[in-house]
Amino acid sequence: MSENGQTVPIGCSIALVMDTTSTSPIDNMPGASELDPALCYRMMLARDRRFDGRFFTAVKTTGIYCRPICPTPPPKQENCVWYPSAAAAQGAGFRPCIRCRPEHAPGLAVRHGDSLVSRALGLLQEHWSEYPSGGVRAIAARLGVSERTLHRSFRREIGASPKEFEDTRRTLFAKELIVDSSLSMADVAFAAGYGSVRRFNANFKDLFQRSPTSLRHEASQKHQQGVGDSGIVLRLPYREPYHFPSIFQFLEQRAIRGVESVVGGEWRRVVRIGESIGVVAVRDFSKKRCLEARVAIDDLSKLAAAKARISRIFDIDADAAKIDQQLSTHAFLAEDVRSRPGVRIPGVWDGFEICIRAILGQQISVVAARTLAGRIAAKFGKKIGDLRGGDGLICAFPTPEELADANFEGLGIMPARAETIRRVAQLLCQEPTLLTGAWPSEEARARLVGIRGIGPWTASYIALRALGDPDAYPEKDLGLMQALAGWGDGVANAWRPWRGYAVIRIWTLPQSSVMNKASSGTA
């Protein structure tokens, strides 16, 4: 079956226009533990946006750390210290710049993939509120490693401990809400994960040398989005290039009726985090190089987790320039990379949902699978009632607990597939972390393939969209085989370790383009 709906250094020089077919100075950037001061200083002087979020400049004379694109006059090189992440700079005792706003820097590319740190970051950002004060120990245990191993990996790749990373994330998220919203300070503290308003106020006074209220008063009024009937507005910065039309169209074609909708260039859906339910709406805000998300949720403590999941759905942390450079090395995708730079892998809100959709989509069209998923959601999903921003949306997609013993009669689902759905639901009731990113991709796929009715194609598709595996490759997909006919068995090897991005590109190519490429390959 086919998911695309077919039947089948330039040294260390600084270039402000990116050429994805040549070696970029980005590729010459050292790892987190060995930043080159001279190179970082030149990138900072150039204010090159490609390096935004890749390192941070801390100034010893002011005690402030900034993004490399900060508009303030550059400090002297001897006064600068370089850090690979905001967490590393803040853990070293520096405070965030109010002008360049580190909270709006693009995310860490290290979050992308199947490494220990990548999996840990997913848990830290989406599930921290589930843990008591000993959260790092609990997360290490959940990942099957020692706390010391987790610390060592974080220090090597991010330059900070897991606790420093979480403290920085919480501080920067609170700062974003202070400046960009009109939430009360009590609500900001609660949404950012502070245990009390007193602790929140004390933390900000120690770090910023002013109260949260003073910080809001100092912020430019043009930043404040407010909190209206449609929910809280959040900005999710991405590193260019970002091809929003491709991911938007992919999600639009698969929108489950009653759960998701596309209205006026905006993708919306009902979301559920634990017992909390809400509505999110996302659109592209290319002028500011970010996505703009409106979140209306009944529990503000889930707001940060909602932001992390939206980031995952729209794959905003991917290093698109690096990926495109690799994909363009083979003639098959070179033209598409030039015409559509920055194509991303569409993620999912919940891994269980994509399991069900993959099972339903076996050997039928995308439209038919979407119809069946809509019937399941309408019958078993939790109704949302009159929730802000929920116009036209009526329910959330059901949880594993709600489908573990479900009766699918009358929905048009074959009995064998219905049984597979129940078995997947039962597995996730027993192993709720299986599709959260806590498990390595290969292990999660092996558990899924152990269920009757789930084969390699289905497991690879789940790994691609639910686990964010950038190299997941459903090689028996009919659309891929048709498109690659005549190009040889080794074509996909040229795309490693980004074969998942190649798959999405091929699935979203126009039908005529796929046929032309297949013909060219045969010739």
Question: Pick from 457, 506, 508, 455: which is nearest to 482 by CA?
Answer: 506
Domain tally, the chain: 1
pTM above 0.85, yes or no: yes
Task: Give CA–CA dist 88/72, Å, rounded.
Answer: 21
DSSP code of residue 382? P
Residue at 479 is within a domain: yes
Over residues 202-225, the mean pLDDT reads 79
Could you give the CA distance from residue 63 to residue 412 in angstroms, rounded to a whole number? 64
218-227, long-range: CB within 8 Å, 24+ apart, which pairs? 218/98, 219/98, 219/178, 219/179, 223/179, 223/180, 224/179, 224/180, 224/181, 224/182, 225/180, 225/181, 226/181, 226/182, 227/181, 227/182, 227/183
CA distance 174 to 167: 11
Instruction: Determine, yes or no, domain membership for 83.
Output: no
Handedness of CA 153, 157, 160, 166 (dihedral sign): negative
Here the CATH number for the domain that contains residue 466 is: 1.10.340.30
For residues 362 and 181, give the distance between their C-alpha atoms in angstroms, rounded to a whole number.
44
3-state SS of 159-200?
A: CCCHHHHHHHHHHHHHHHHHHHCCCCHHHHHHHHCCCCHHHH
What tens digit of pLDDT does each residue of 269-309 get? 999 998 899 999 999 999 999 999 999 998 999 999 999 99
The contacts of residue 176 (CB under 8 Å, 6+ apart) are 101, 103, 104, 234, 235
Whether 66 is catalytic is yes
Tell me the HSE value of 92 on the side-chain side, using a 13 A CA sphere: 22
Summarize pLDDT for 68-112 with one digit per residue, the tens. 999 999 999 999 999 999 999 999 999 999 999 999 999 876 656
CA angle, residues 430, 431, 432, in degrees to nearest 5: 105
pLDDT for residue 107: 83
* Residue 20 predicted with pLDDT over 60: no
Mean pLDDT in residue range 116-131? 74
Query: Which one is catalytic: 48, 52, 66, 350?
Result: 66
Q: What angle do CA 353, 355, 358 make, to 5 degrees?
A: 110
Q: Which entry of 52, 317, 336, 477 is annotated as an active-site residue?
A: 477
| Lowest mean pLDDT, pick from 19-33, 225-239, 268-282 | 19-33
Q: For residue 52, is it within any domain?
A: no
Q: Does residue 17 sit within a domain?
A: yes
Q: Which residues contact 212 (CB under 8 A, 6 or more apart)?
A: 174, 178, 185, 188, 200, 201, 204
Q: What angle do CA 346, 348, 353 make, to 5 degrees?
A: 135
Q: Where do the H-state alpha helices sit in 282-380?
A: 303-313, 320-327, 331-339, 351-360, 366-380
Confidence band of 15 (pLDDT split at 50, 70, 90): very low
Domain presence at residue 55 = no
Instruction: Please give the pLDDT value at position 17.
Output: 30
Averaged pLDDT, 481-510: 90
* Average pLDDT score over residue span 438-462: 94
What pLDDT digit, counting tens, does each position of 394-411 carry?
A: 999 999 999 999 999 999
Q: Compute the CA torsion angle 374, 377, 378, 382 (nearest 10 deg).
A: -150
Structural domain including 366 reads: 1-30+302-386+399-523
From CA 202, how far away is CA 500, in angstroms rounded?
45
CB 174 within 8 Å of CB 234: no
Question: Is 519 a residue whose pLDDT tops 80?
Answer: no
Looking at residues 488-514, what average pLDDT do you find? 85
Q: 361: Cβ–Cβ under 8 A, 6 or more apart, which residues?
A: 1, 3, 369
Instruction: Please determine, for residue 132, whether its predicted confidence score (pLDDT) is greater than 90.
Output: no
Start-to-end CA distance of the chain, whole Å, equals: 25
Question: Is 377 part of a structural domain of the chain?
Answer: yes
Residue 478 banded pLDDT, cuts 50, 70, 90: confident
The span from the CA of 360 to the CA of 498, in Å, is: 26
Are the C-beta atoms of residues 357 and 424 closer than 8 Å to each other?
A: no
Give start and end residues of each alpha helix (H) in 34-161.
Answer: 37-46, 86-91, 116-127, 135-143, 147-157
> For residue 172, is it within any domain?
no
Q: Among 133, 205, 208, which Cα is nearest to 166's?
A: 133
Range name among 26-40, 69-83, 177-191, 375-389 with the lowest pLDDT average: 26-40
Tell me the mean pLDDT in the region 131-155: 83
- If you search the block for the tokens 């490494």, which residue do you land on? 115
Quick one: pLDDT at residue 274? 87
Amino acid at residue number 406? A
Q: Is 327 contained in some domain?
A: yes
* 40 noted as active-site residue: no
